[in-house]
Structure formats: structure tokens, C-alpha cells
Structure 1
């Protein structure tokens, strides 16, 4: 596609420019995620933003909304079908298998952060390019690891200052329980075949559990009367879930058991959960979720190897922080704004500026040849603590004038003492 010179090029729908003044919030919540993961001994992994489309068909599930409707897929120059990643787990599991990490001592505990892509109707907290923070823990079937993952997410929200975050939790059972329940669901929904939505009908024999998550009004009414999975759990599944719940009670983590919670991905077994908080304009108040996926490593060609994890939507986190008016401890303003008078002072000022930066001070200067009064206004706008004024006369005496903007207090000090003077007053 060719654009004329006068054509206005705009950002694609459902994407955002994160501008200075806003991006600092993102940096802070990302740094908090890294700090919390460090406390739990989770290590960062970075996977490609695009993968072979088959990865998501096999891992996420062909009967999911993501694969059926929302993936950004294209054929590359090698005639390969490629998709932008719609979620983080599949790529992480692919890497775990491809790098043969299953041969290492377990568990393996990783976290990731970055952009994901889904073609859906843009709304508050739901964008076509969005960002996730997620964790994955491989190698253990211990339900205590499920509880640890849930607790990690809750500690992250607490560290941000978010209040009233809750966990909705359910069990999807093991393969044996799921198969028995699947047959019960098919039998039940077959009795309403003429009333189900077209989408529900298409999923009935592929993955009937997905019908429980339908958005169609009549299908939701029918699904409300469907058998509950918890009534068809075997002893192993029931014991696993009971241990998770008892552990959450012990840790003081608030939760609600939601027997209809199935999540939007096919790979979950046993524990499934969502983090919820009240957010105006954001669907269902969900800010993240996850669960256990004990068969996913095998689907990608690895050995039998369990896993559990979550993904948290960072746009949703920002929305929740804004909604609750949480004041973030962001660094604001400069330590010093440098004003120079005269050509020689202007040149030497660059060396002074660089020395201050190398000492870890946040500093800036004028590059627009503004008058001194205008430069003071700029320093005030940039919330500078100090203004340092270097003129030709001061330069000859190896001195500099320093003014504290908040008080108006001004003094002349040795140029060599400028850095230590500001550092002592920080």
C-alpha cells in the first residue's frame, strides 16, 4: 500500500502509544513484578513474539475463541504459517521442551513479561496489543505449588498497593475426571441442541467445557443447569483441590469457589483460577488468571511433566491502580538544571553536566538559547530541586552559583564541590 505525502498515518486500532509521564507507571509495575519473582526464585525467560501457528493450535486449543477468532496469523516468505503470540504459556512450554529443560533438576520456575496480540473488540483494559506478566512452574504435581503460584500473584498486587483483589477458583479435575464429565456434558447439551448457539454446537463434540463459558444469553441459561464437575471428581482430583483450598486458607488469601470457571484455554487441568477486582468499564473485573496444565509438555513433544502458572494483564493492572487512586512512588523532577552564560561557560557546562550524570544525578540544560528567565521557568516545569548558574566570571574563579528552587536560598560554591553539595542535600 502506497501513501500520498499528505496522508495522515495513524496508530492501528486497539493499540496504544505509552507516552512519557505514563510509561513510568509501566516501568514501576514491571520492576515490582521482577522483585516479587526474585523473592520466589522465579527467573526471567524471553520468547519470540511470533511462533509457528501450529504451536497455538496444539497448545491453546482449536476450539478456543483465541484460535478460532482472535489470532494474528500470516504466511511468511518461506510459506510457513506464523502467528503473533496471543498468550505467553505456549511459547514458554515450547522453549522448555526444545531446550530439554526437563532433563534438569526440577522444579523449573520461570517468569515472562511482554506484548501479546489478539484481534478482538477494543475496550477499556482489553487491547489488540496488550501486555502480560506471567509465571510458569514445571516439574511438580504438588498442590502446594499451585498455592505458591496463586500467592505470588496476590503478593504482587499487594506490593502495588491494590486492595480488594480476590481469587475465583475451581478444579477441572484430572484426565480421568474430565473424560467422565465431558460425556455427561455432551449428553446434557444434546437435549438442548435446537436452542444452543451455532458456536456452542460447533464446540459440543470438540470441547463441551467451553460451552460453560459461552457469552450467548440462551446458551448461558442452558449451561447454568449443566452438571457440575465437582460432582464427578475422582479421589485424586478431589484431594488435590482440597489441599490447594486448605493452603489458601492457611495463607489468608481470600477466594471464592466458582464451579463454572473453566478459563479460556484448553490446556488446564486440576486448578483453574482468576484474580478479580472491581474496575469500572472492564469486563468482569478480571485482571489475570491461570491454573495447572499437566499434559501440555507432552503435547509439545516432551515427557510427562506437570506445570502450573498464571498470566496477569498489565493494562488491567494500570486500570485498577487508576480506579483505586493508588499513588505510585515514581521518581519526579531533576536534581539540578544547569544554566550557562557565555560561550566558554556553555562549552564547559557540557563537561559539568556529564560529570553530574556519571555521578548518578538527574540533570538537564537548555538547548534552545532561551533567556535566563525562561530557563528558570523550564527548571520549575521540570521540577528541578536546584538550578546551577555558571557564568564567565564564575568560570574564571572555578565557582558556580547554586539556588534551591523551593526556598530561594542561593550560595556560591567551588565548581569542584557541586556534585557532593547536591548529593548531600538529596
Structure 2
């Protein structure tokens, strides 16, 4: 029986893999304008990092994390033994906790230093029920800014994300930005207690899971997908009525910055996001089409206490993450297709096998000069080679046969215009040798210049 990819995962085939690279590079290019630098963290971390950082009451920690365990430790558990904390590992379900851990561990924000602005991209893992827009292994792009608590950081991040969505092709007219404030450690406890009391008063209409959450973090009930719970929570107390003066001023400043940048948003007092580390600003970007029930394509917020939770000094933070797969669905729903991964500047075709060695040499000379070049490796007929050249999207075909080789020439066809010309082989190779890997298209020459000849 054939072995397929694990449930909840999928292969990024060449066209989509190329688009993912473009997606990531576009994000990094835009984020770099705002001062963000790349960081890479491990795919797995100590489990305690996520328990302490994300929160035990979240679905991510309580239900969805994949545990990574060595064969030796698995045997130890099966024999009734225990595993040391440093050996209890989990695949990362999100990127923020790992980046904050790295900032703390390597002291990237010493006292009085400028904020650390970091960006990342890569796979995340959650043991969820696979469905459209929700995979067990998925790709995210994200940023984290640690060391600054000013609301301009929050607004800057939101603006930056919306600029990226527009650049990558997400239809902005079908996109909505939701914003809210979660308060801080001064005002949120009173609000949480008010929500808990409200839930207890309506317990007969709430699911068991929500009532369990009520004792740990009642704000999680706002995320419940049970229709009955959602209806009850519509009447729950609003955080806006409980914000302290500092949080209210911070939230107002964020909105003022967004207004000044022309960013449209909707205030949603029920927006809490899915992780416990958020304080003050939270936001989410949603789309209307192509997502099934999973309509969020990105979001984030402020987490001013997370560094302390993972053992660091008090360090305010702000960040967001966006899911590649969900953005791709939104882009496809707008009628855009992934560009083809196939690309070829010149295809060298052989009339017969007597010229294969010279054709091979010409192909290598093109590649060494920074030109994408291909040739046939299956001894096809000349007609079939032209079909192959067309399939790989070659701009030109260079035909080499015994007669051309004897005359020291190669016949070049432009695949768009079908015009043909003869080119001196030694001159073309000499010009190719001048570039030594420098890509064409700059100030020096183009592939057409190299293979210019008589029409």
C-alpha cells in the first residue's frame, strides 16, 4: 500500500513552494523597511515554555500540542519512570513564545537598549481536526517587537501587516480588521471576575467546556464555537467598561494612529484571541470568502508580561502572526492562481547524439553565467525537444546539429516571435564567460545580447 502524507499535512508542490518563497520574501522585504531583522528558533521547545507562556487553559496547550519524545524517554515512561523537565519537549504551536525565549536567553534587549525587532517564517504544529484552512502542520510569518510599550509600536505593526496583505494580493475590499483592548493586570482581574459571575448566572445555557474554563480563564468563552455559548456571551460584560485610565489612553492612541494612516477597523469588545499572554491591544484580520469556517488570516497584539513568564526581566512586547495557507486560500478565492514554477531562459536542443557533448558544454556555460538553461536528457527527437522547451517555458531554443557545429554556429529561435538567427558559438561562449555567475538583466547585457546574430 502506498504511503501518503500524514493527516493534516500537505505537500507544497513546485508552483506553490515557489509562491510560499515569494510570500515569505515579500513579507520580509516590507517588514525590513520598519527595522525588523530575521530570527530562526528551533521547531521544538521545552513544553514548559508553552505552558507558562501561552497558558494551561488554552486549547493550544491543553489539547493541540504535539509532544516530541526520544525512544529512550519513551521506554522510560512505559516502564513507569519520569522525564526531566528539560527533556519534555513539544513541537512549536506558534512562534511568539520561542522568539521571546530567545530574546531572554541571549539578552537581546539589555537595560536601556533600543527595542529588538524580529521577524520569522516557518512551520508550526497543532493537533487539530483537519479542515479547510486548518492543518496540523502549517506555515506562519510573524514579527515580534520587544522593549517598547508605546502605542505607536502597536499601530505600526498593524499598518505594516495591512500593507503586506495589499502587496501579496489579498483582496482588501473583502478584508476586515477587528481591534480591541484586553486591559492589563490592574483592570483585567475585575473584568474577568465580572465575566465569571455572568457565566455562572447563565451556566444552564453554557457548555461544560466553557464552565470548566470559567474557573481558569473565563475570557476563553468568547472563543467558543457552540451557538448557545456564543449567544449567551453576546450579553456578557464588555472590557471597554472596565479599562483603567492608562489602558483606555493606550487603546485610544492606537486608534488615533490607525485613523491617521487611513486604516479602517472595527472595534470588537469580544475579541480576545486564543492565547493567554495578550495584554492591552489585540487585533485580528478576517476575510469573507474562500476560508470555510476559518476566516481569520492573521492577528496578534501586545504581551507585556510574557518575558517575565519565561524567566526574563520585565520587557514589553508586541507581535503578530499570519498563516500562509489561509492567505493562499483568500488569494485563490479572489481568482488569482499561483505563478508557474517553471522558468527557463534557453533550451539547448540536439539534432542528434553526435553533438550532445558540445550541447552539454553550452548549457553549463549558460548556467555558470547566471542563465537558467536546460537540455534533453532522454534522447528525444528534435520535435519532442521543442515541445519540452515550450513546456518548461523557455524563452529561446538553441539548436545544435552536425552542420551547425561544423560551421562553428548555433541556430537560436525566439519562442515568442519564432524568429531564428545564427550565432557564432565561440563568440557566445566568450561573452558568457565574462559574467561568471552574475545574473543577466543588469547594466551589462541580457541573454538576447549574448545570442544576437543574423535574423
Q: Does 1:8 align with 2:2?
A: yes
Distance (Å, rounded) in 2 between the aligned partners of 1:210 and 1:285 = 18
Q: Which of 120, 129, 144 in structure 2 is aligned with 1:121?
A: 129
Q: CA RMSD in A?
A: 1.8
Distance (Å, rounded) in 2 between the aligned partners of 1:388 and 1:224 = 69
Give the TM-score normalised by structure 2. 0.88
Determine the structure 2 residue equivalent to 1:72: 66
Q: Does 1:87 align with 2:112?
A: no
Q: Does 1:337 align with 2:332?
A: no
Determine the structure 2 residue equivalent to 1:405: 415
Determine the structure 2 residue equivalent to 1:4: none
Structure 2: gaps of 5 or more residues: 74-82, 433-444
Determine the structure 1 residue equivalent to 2:196: 186
Distance (Å, rounded) in 2 between the aligned partners of 1:90 and 1:157 = 24
Answer whether contact 1:132 1:312 (CA < 8 A) is retained: yes
Q: Shift in Å at residue 331 of structure 1?
A: 6.9
Q: Shift in Å at residue 21 of structure 1?
A: 2.1
Secondary structure class of the residue paired with 2:56:
coil
Q: Does 1:154 align with 2:162?
A: yes
Q: Deviation string for 1:89-124 (max 9, x for gaps)? A: 011111111111121622110001000011112122
Determine the structure 2 residue equivalent to 1:323: 333
Secondary structure class of the residue paired with 1:339:
strand
Q: Which of 262, 285, 290 in structure 1 is aligned with 2:272?
A: 262
Q: 1:330 to 1:74 in 2, by over 3 A?
A: closer
Determine the structure 2 residue equivalent to 1:250: 260
Where does structure 1 differ by over 4 angstroms across 4 or more consecutive aligned residues?
327-332
Q: Shift in Å at residue 327 of structure 1?
A: 6.0
Secondary structure class of the residue paired with 1:236:
helix
Q: Deviation string for 1:178-229 (max 9, x for gaps)? A: 1111121122212123332111111112111111221122222221111111
Q: Deviation string for 1:268-304 (max 9, x for gaps)? A: 0000000112222432521000000000000011001
Answer whether contact 2:36 2:117 (CA < 8 A) is retained: yes
Distance (Å, rounded) in 1 between the aligned partners of 2:226 and 2:286 = 22
Structure 1: gaps of 5 or more residues: 1-6
Q: Shift in Å at residue 416 of structure 1?
A: 3.2
Secondary structure class of the residue paired with 1:204:
helix
Distance (Å, rounded) in 1 between the aligned partners of 2:400 and 2:250 = 70
Q: Shift in Å at residue 328 of structure 1?
A: 6.3
Count of aligned positions: 420
Q: Does 1:27 align with 2:18?
A: no
Distance (Å, rounded) in 2 between the aligned partners of 1:108 and 1:59 = 19
Which stretch of the first structure deviates more once superposed, 216-225 or 316-325?
216-225
Give the TM-score normalised by structure 1. 0.94
Answer whether contact 2:184 2:247 (CA < 8 A) is retained: yes
